[in-house]
Amino acid sequence: MSGNSSVGNSNVYEAGDQRTEPASKPGGSFGEEGTKNSHQANDSKDERSIANRLATAEPQNDSTSGKALNAEAKAGQTDATAPARMHGNEPSRGAQIDKELQDEEAAIIAKKDAAKGSKKPGGTGDMAGKKN
């Protein structure tokens, strides 16, 4: 039937390129082995079980899975101005304010700890035994 058409090229109407290959030819079959990294963690249509999703998420939520901190990063956690000083620079205004706030909080905590240690055990201060 395709040979009777007088419109266009006859190759357009032949389906030789659209036929499937016979099963006897080698070439692997689909679905036997999955491709590496074929699952995306945020794919809502992925059919992985909840247990598999949780197992995948475990290393991401682990606190030890982060990068090891170098000396500069460790110093920056304790003193906001330390990284700039380590490089011989003046700390930024924000880092200076952070350092001041950190020092003030440390002084308040030390003051509270000292006040807590000086009280007599079991007492309620000057209101002990008095009525309102």
For the chain, which residues make up each domain, given as ranges? 93-118
pLDDT in tens, 25-58: 665 555 566 677 766 767 777 777 888 878 877 7
Task: Note the pLDDT of residue 123.
Answer: 54
How many CB atoms lie under 10 A from the CB of residue 91?
17
Name the H helices within the chain: 50-61, 71-78, 82-86, 93-118
Higher pLDDT, 21 or 112: 112
Tokens read off for 37:
């990294």
pLDDT in tens, 43-100: 777 777 888 878 877 776 666 656 677 888 888 888 888 888 988 999 999 999 999 9
